[in-house]
């Protein structure tokens, strides 16, 4: 089973409760449409944008807000508080490219970063739910999320002075499928996937640093590798991680210009396999990209920033230390 579908299972494939239409940020924050008109490569969806909360699904005793059927992508800017470091982070929530965990892996990230003097830009990128329609997914299976990420990085650089951001200190941070999107934008920035729209698309969309937390879609099993190469195989792996190897997904092309990267992974994560993070780390190391990886024995998947008990949930402090070592925030 693909990690996108497994990740979706974490947030529940059964009927969710407390549904409402259209996600809205907290008072005082406004969503900004990232496209002036219709977004490129639109896909039909099964209905209007939905906000869903399952009261039975808890992370560290709290529910998770899931958003699906996103066709109008937006960004929400959370300004730095206190002494502004000039750094900014564009946040990609996870959810299997089929929904977005907008609080667990979105607004709660901004609540952590902004008091540290870091501007946070929360991207609500396009995702489609499971249904009879073509679904979103990782690039190149679907271009939508990566198009939204490229566009957002350009917009942030265009408005850097207005938003009190140093255009040389703009990074990305994502979880699960959002972690894959971190890797995608870190390596697909030289050319837009869409025709230029305005001045924002003349700006670089290369992140200056990247943080991928339990990322998915980055490694292949032997069977998947054979399929990519056009080799027909009849053996079926006996489990999602059977015959897993450290082969990087060939759709990700790491070079020495890939930005410095921080990786976080739990060994017992059976949703997005530990091999995903390891394969990407090895590719970064081979290319000479400054990279730091923290691998913990326990933690599972989809814990976000919530202090759930295992030592891995103290990871934000590790990221802060790393940001200091690469000169993005002051000592």
Q: Are 302 and 268 in contact (CB under 8 A)?
A: no
Tokens coding 124: 């609500």
Domains in the chain, CATH or no CATH each: 3-325 (3.40.50.1820)
Mean pLDDT over residues 303-327, rounded? 96
Q: Which DSSP category does 323 fall into?
A: H
Calculate Rg over the CA atoms of the chain: 19
Q: Tokens 């679904």 label which residue?
A: 135
For residue 232, pLDDT over 50 is answered with: no
Number of Cβ atoms within 10 Å of the Cβ of 143: 18
Of 30, 4, 35, 32, which is closest to residue 148 (Cα–Cα)? 35
Determine the Cα–Cα distance for residues 75 and 125; give it in Å rounded to an integer.
8
Which residues, 6 or more positions from 152, have their beta carbon under 8 angstroms from its beta carbon?
34, 75, 90, 121, 123
Mean pLDDT over residues 6-29, rounded? 59
Q: Which residue has the higher pLDDT, 172 or 230?
A: 172
pLDDT for 139 equals 95
Determine the Cα–Cα distance for residues 181 and 147; give it in Å rounded to an integer.
10
pTM here? 0.90
Q: For 47-86, how does the pLDDT look when each residue is reduced to its tens digit (9 = 90+)?
A: 899 999 999 999 999 999 999 999 999 999 999 999 999 9
Strand partners, 91: 122, 173
Number of Cβ atoms within 10 Å of the Cβ of 138: 24
Cα atoms found within 13 Å of the Cα of residue 83, Cβ hemisphere only: 4
Q: Are 295 and 268 in contact (CB under 8 A)?
A: no
E strands of 22-160, at which residues? 31-33, 50-53, 65-68, 74-78, 88-92, 100-101, 119-124
Q: For 101-126, how does the pLDDT look when each residue is reduced to its tens digit (9 = 90+)?
A: 999 999 999 999 999 999 999 999 99
Q: Are 237 and 221 in contact (CB under 8 A)?
A: yes
- Quick check: helix, strand or coil at residue 269? coil
Average pLDDT taken over every residue of the chain: 88
Q: For 121-154, how does the pLDDT look when each residue is reduced to its tens digit (9 = 90+)?
A: 999 999 987 666 667 899 999 999 999 999 999 9
- Quick check: helix, strand or coil at residue 245? strand
Determine the Cα–Cα distance for residues 189 and 163; give it in Å rounded to an integer.
22
Produce one character per residue of 81-96: b if its CB has 16 or more CB atoms within 10 Å, e if not. Answer: eeebbbbbbbbbbbbb
pLDDT for 45 equals 84
Q: For 184-226, how does the pLDDT look when each residue is reduced to its tens digit (9 = 90+)?
A: 999 999 999 999 999 999 999 999 999 999 999 999 865 565 5
Q: What is the dihedral of CA 304, 306, 309, 310, to 10 degrees?
A: 20
Q: Which DSSP category does 228 fall into?
A: H
- Quick check: helix, strand or coil at residue 2? coil
Q: How far is CA 293 from the centre of its chain?
A: 17
């Amino acid at each position: 089973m693909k990690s996108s579908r497994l990740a979706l299972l974490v947030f529940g494939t059964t009927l969710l409760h407390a549904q409402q239409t259209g996600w809205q940020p907290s008072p005082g924050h406004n969503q900004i449409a990232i496209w002036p008109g219709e977004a490129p490569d639109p896909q039909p969806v099964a209905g209007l944008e939905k906000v869903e909360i399952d009261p039975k699904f808890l992370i560290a005793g709290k529910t998770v807000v899931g958003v699906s059927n996103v066709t109008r992508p937006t960004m929400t800017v959370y300004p730095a508080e206190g002494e502004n470091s000039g750094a900014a982070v564009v946040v990609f929530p996870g959810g299997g490219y089929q929904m977005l965990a907008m609080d667990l892996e979105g607004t709660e990230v901004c609540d952590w970063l902004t008091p540290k003097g870091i501007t946070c830009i929360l991207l609500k990128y396009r995702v489609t739910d499971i249904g009879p329609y073509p679904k979103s997914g990782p690039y190149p299976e679907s271009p939508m999320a990566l198009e939204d990420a490229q566009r957002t990085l350009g917009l942030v650089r265009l408005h850097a002075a207005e938003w009190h951001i140093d255009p040389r200190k703009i990074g990305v941070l994502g979880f699960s499928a959002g972690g894959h999107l971190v890797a995608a934008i870190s390596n697909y920035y030289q050319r837009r996937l869409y025709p230029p729209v305005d001045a924002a698309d003349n700006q670089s969309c290369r992140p200056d640093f990247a943080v991928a937390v339990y990322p998915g879609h980055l490694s292949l099993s032997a069977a998947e590798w054979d399929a990519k190469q056009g080799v027909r195989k009849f053996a079926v792996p006996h489990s999602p991680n059977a015959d897993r190897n450290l082969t990087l997904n060939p759709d990700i092309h790491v070079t020495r210009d890939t930005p410095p990267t921080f990786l976080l992974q739990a060994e017992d994560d059976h949703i997005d396999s530990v091999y995903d993070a390891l394969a990407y780390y090895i590719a970064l190391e081979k290319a000479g990209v400054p990279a730091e990886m923290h691998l913990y024995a326990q933690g599972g998947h989809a814990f976000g920033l919530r202090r759930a008990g295992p030592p891995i949930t103290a990871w934000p402090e590790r990221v802060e230390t790393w940001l200091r070592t690469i000169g993005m925030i002051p000592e």
